[in-house]
Structure 1
Amino acid sequence: MTMRRTAVAATAALTLLAAWGGASSAAAATAPKTPQAAGGCAVLAPGASAAAEKAVAAACEQIGVWYTWGGGHGQQPGPTYGQVDPSDPDSAHDPERLGFDCSGLVRYAYARAVGGDPLSGNAYHQFHSPHVNQRFTAAQGTGPLLPGDLLAWGSGGSIHHIAIYLGAGKMVEARESGTRITVSDVRLGGDYAGAVRIAPPQTAPGTFSTWGTDVWTHKEPSTTSPRVHRFPGPTTVRVECQKHAEPVTAEGYTNDAWSYLPEYGSWITNIYIKGPAWLDGVPTCP
């Protein structure tokens, strides 16, 4: 099939109710320690790269989601249920809350922005990532920073907290148990350690963008096989190979081509990948 699709703003046929709404009634009844941010989360200054702006947008979509200790560190970037932090009594309900800790949010934001999983690991790993191309000391303050830069806190070589700069002295963060992801003023005092700028990996052959919202990948090239990963919106992905398999009809198109996404270990119908029905330059799977 050689028909070329044009990406349109449509809701994907493969959807799932937002999972974090299923948190237990006990967790839902526990009020956050700080008010939930209602807005103000956006790119607030010019000069950021397109990838950094996408990372900000992805993080801002999570405003109001619970902080949960250890959240966001599953097999793939995305919200997960947390754990009890033995040092923090406020984390008692974290195993019932679907969300992110500070580095889980950063991981998710940059995965959404550039595809793959470039910032896996904790705050320390992210602050020292090989994808860092510029560093800023604590003494430099926010003057040289651009939206999407990562601000970090720690001392003695350790990093215990990380957040995403928005511009205008603001940041989006998953701060601590008992709170929700919110916009905060940048805290330059205390053990603020400085900031880093992330250089996203170069676009590699086989890189494409998905389209639509709430699009699911599957374990096998079939809509009846188990769902693996949900793309809330357009996402950059790497396609390893493609094959003809189960025909799918969605969004007014019918196509039997499926693409394998190695970073997600799963398959997606080519209907939801921008490009021709059979992707140019992508080999056929064995």
Structure 2
Amino acid sequence: MAMRRTLGAALAAVALLAAWGGAHGTPAAAAPRAAGACDVLAPGASAVAEGAVRAACEQIGVWYTWGGGHGPQPGPTYGQVDPSDPDSAHDPERLGFDCSGLVRYAYARAAGGDPLPGNAYHQFNSPEVKQRFTAAQGTAPLLPGDLLAWGSGGSVHHIAIYLGAGKMVEARESGTRITVSDVRLGGDYAGAVRMAAAAAPGTFSTWGTDVWTHKEPSTTSPRVHRFPGPTIVRIDCQKHAEPVTAEGYTNDAWSYLPEYGAWITNIYIKGPAWLDGVRTCR
């Protein structure tokens, strides 16, 4: 489970009210946020790409750690010492991501499964790539969620996720934390790639803002993770449990999200009250 900042009591109270607000349906699309924020900063990207942006943005402030994020499953791990970088001396003590570990985690969260394992080179040359952009094209044709790469002679040593408006989110180097940066088009910038838009089987989109998942299929069980906005999630199974009422709708169906180890009421999953094609939990 990724490291996340603990909300203060006041924010937690606001989130609790917001989590159960809204009608059972698809909300209007939110306007892009101002440049400088870590969010989807331009329109036009696929739902999976937008989900990857938001998953990466949730990691703002987490440590860069060399080799981080390359465990058996996508997610933060303790790093390693990079023999070529003295600043990595403390990376084995820091839980976090390197550049490709962050990209792997973001797209696993957005698309389900593990579509982008490997290092920056493997991701830039992944069979999941559907479109490529040269360095000479700059950022003009790019959409949020596109992957920007740096390297020369066929090698790739760094990769980041485009936000739009000339901004990107990246895990840059040892001694720093995941941050929003201006896109660096000089030096050995090698171009960008766009991933396939299709989500993996069993994936759905949430809707609403500040929606919480729970340890058990009940609103009184401990809260696990907050979705600040619509997010692509993978659903393993669903079951009938505690009825939840929100804005005149009542539903006793809950879905299990294996990447989070948590449950979400189906009220906040786009689709029918009981999701088609999803098995019943035992």
TM-score above 0.5: yes
Superposed CA offset, 1:230-266 (max 9, x none): 654265344455578xx668899x99977676x7597
Change (3 A) 1:190 1:281: closer
Change (3 A) 1:239 1:69: same
Superposed CA offset, 1:3-42 (max 9, x none): xxxxx8439xxxxxxxxxxxxxxxxxxxxxxxxxxx5323
Deviation at 1:127, TM superposition (A): 0.6
Change (3 A) 1:73 1:255: farther
| Aligned pair partner of 1:60 in 32, 49, 57 | 57
What SS does structure 2 have at the residue aligned with 1:47?
A: coil
The 8 Å contact of residues 150 and 157 in structure 2, kept in 1 or not, is answered as: yes
Q: Give 1:97's aligned residue.
A: 94
The 8 Å contact of residues 67 and 101 in structure 1, kept in 2 or not, is answered as: yes
Deviation at 1:51, TM superposition (A): 2.6
Code of the aligned partner of 1:187:
R
Q: Give 1:33's aligned residue.
A: none
The 8 Å contact of residues 68 and 99 in structure 1, kept in 2 or not, is answered as: yes
Q: Does 1:282 find its partner at 2:239? A: no
Q: Percent of counterpart pairs with the same letter?
A: 77
Query: Is there any run of 5+ residues in structure 1 with no aligned partner, and where?
Result: 1-7, 12-38, 222-229
Deviation at 1:121, TM superposition (A): 1.9
Q: Give 2:193's aligned residue.
A: 196
What SS does structure 1 have at the residue aligned with 2:190?
A: strand
Q: Give 1:140's aligned residue.
A: 137
Within a 5 Å distance, the mapping from 1:215-230 to structure 2 comes to 215=213
What SS does structure 2 have at the residue aligned with 1:52?
A: helix
Q: Give 1:72's aligned residue.
A: 69
Structure 2 CA distance for aligned equivalents of residues 264 and 130 of structure 1: 23
The 8 Å contact of residues 56 and 148 in structure 1, kept in 2 or not, is answered as: yes
Superposed CA offset, 1:66-102 (max 9, x none): 1111112223322222222122111111122122111
Deviation at 1:112, TM superposition (A): 2.6
Code of the aligned partner of 2:103:
V
| Aligned pair partner of 1:207 in 200, 203, 206 | 203
Change (3 A) 1:50 1:270: closer
Question: Normalised by the size of structure 1, how large is the TM-score?
Answer: 0.67
Moved more, 39-48 or 81-90: 39-48
Structure 1 CA distance for aligned equivalents of residues 273 and 40 of structure 2: 35
Code of the aligned partner of 1:194:
G
Deviation at 1:273, TM superposition (A): 7.2
Deviation at 1:195, TM superposition (A): 0.5
Change (3 A) 1:106 1:271: same
Code of the aligned partner of 1:208:
F
Question: Normalised by the size of structure 2, how large is the TM-score?
Answer: 0.68
What SS does structure 2 have at the residue aligned with 1:93?
A: helix
Deviation at 1:194, TM superposition (A): 0.9
The 8 Å contact of residues 109 and 259 in structure 2, kept in 1 or not, is answered as: no
The 8 Å contact of residues 258 and 267 in structure 1, kept in 2 or not, is answered as: no
The 8 Å contact of residues 77 and 108 in structure 1, kept in 2 or not, is answered as: yes
Moved more, 73-82 or 207-216: 207-216
Deviation at 1:209, TM superposition (A): 4.4
Code of the aligned partner of 1:127:
F
Deviation at 1:46, TM superposition (A): 3.1
Q: Does 1:153 find its partner at 2:150? A: yes
Deviation at 1:133, TM superposition (A): 0.9
What SS does structure 2 have at the residue aligned with 1:162?
A: strand
Deviation at 1:173, TM superposition (A): 0.9
Code of the aligned partner of 1:215:
T
Structure 2 CA distance for aligned equivalents of residues 40 and 285 of structure 1: 39
Q: Give 1:44's aligned residue.
A: 41
Aligned residues: 244
Change (3 A) 1:251 1:196: same
Structure 2 CA distance for aligned equivalents of residues 185 and 101 of structure 1: 18
The 8 Å contact of residues 66 and 179 in structure 1, kept in 2 or not, is answered as: yes
Q: Does 1:124 find its partner at 2:121? A: yes
Query: Is there any run of 5+ residues in structure 2 with no aligned partner, and where?
Result: 1-16, 21-35, 218-223
Change (3 A) 1:267 1:54: closer
